[in-house]
Amino acid sequence: MAAPTTLKGPTRDFLGWPFFDDSHKALAEKLDAFAASGALSHIDHSDTDGACRAIVKALGEAGLLDAATGAGGSQPIDSRAACLTRETLAWHDGLADFAFAMQGLGTGAIGLSGTEDLRRTILPKAQSGEWISAFALSEKEAGSDVAAMACSARKDGDHYVLDGEKTWISNGGIADVYTVFVRTGEAPGTRGISAFVVFADDPGFSIAERIDVLAPHPLATIRFENCRIPASRMLGSPGEGFKIAMRTLDIFRASVAAAALGFAKRALDEAVAYAKARPMFGNHLSDLQLTQAAFGDMAAEIDAGALLTYRAAWRRDVQGLPTTKEAAMAKMVATENAQKVIDRAVQIFGGRGVKSGEITESLYREIRALRIYEGATEVQKLIIARELLKA
């Protein structure tokens, strides 16, 4: 989202909430300094693949990928740091948020369940930005219904042979390493899924199709044809893939909510600045009560999402408790509320709000996918209900 603005960056009042400590305040200063350096604005976003590579490199050189990879696997991932980073990057640049998030999601399962050799080989390179990672779970007939997965792997001596396709794979086509979930058949449904590490240069691996979406980022269908990889590249044990995927998503699902907060806060900041400067009926747009009422709704909706988001992250980091329900609540509320906030911002900007290249138009495209990926809103409702019914 490379639209000009006089705004310098997001406000930091919320860092006074009890969810944060001094390390998060220091991270916020580091993020603000990185954004102010122009490292993102100097990257040509017209070439999405090239821009994504350049952003990952810039984030790595600035030490900002530590929050996504657990400092290259040397320490546990701090959920609050990941959320704070995503919120800040999303405020400044949607593709930067995407690039950061995928370095975490693509390597999260490796950090959780990979062998020491895999961790040592992959995580430091992802942390530095030398390697780009991807998370390959979805298929054409298996999105929310993971148990319908058809892509498979068969054991052949000390190797596994993968066949089938994965689609909607973020970083597909530019990633160096993929965490791939396939059916190995130990049991029916999700109990027969295993996870593997696949490298982009493995024989039998290819890009079947590149996919264009509303907010451009690298996305593809990937294909495996007799793709033979060592059994040592399995993550965890046979049949544990679904559990590994869900543990990974539990870590990063709250960060999706944080990205939505960044987009929503940028929309509100831009709308307030615009309304205060826009002449209207002999005064300014901001003086109209309907505009003020909209701002009241927008601010409250953002804070509601923020409180749920950082509660979920704090619960995981500090209390060490499961966050399946809490992260689902955060993801559902923050993304849905952000859609409302950004839609109102577009309305406040009027015709200018839908003009290509305007910040509101860009934010409108950015937010829509967040209500779908890493579990659509409807799925989050089911997760919340399931957790309640367990009690």
Amino acid sitting at position 179: T
Separation of CA 268 from chain center: 21
Two structure tokens written together for 326 = 């809490």
- Helix 324-349 × helix 289-314 angle, to 10°: 160
**Catalytic amino acids?**
374
Which letter does DSSP use for residue 200 in this model?
Answer: T
Selection from 176, 217, 170 nearest residue 52 by Cα:
217
Amino acid sitting at position 194: S
Separation of CA 200 from chain center: 21
Selection from 109, 161, 173 nearest residue 135 by Cα:
109
**Residue 387: other Cβ atoms inside 10 A:** 15
CA atoms within 13 A on the CB side of 345: 30
Compute the distance between CA of residue 224 and CA of residue 238 in angstroms, rounded to an integer: 19
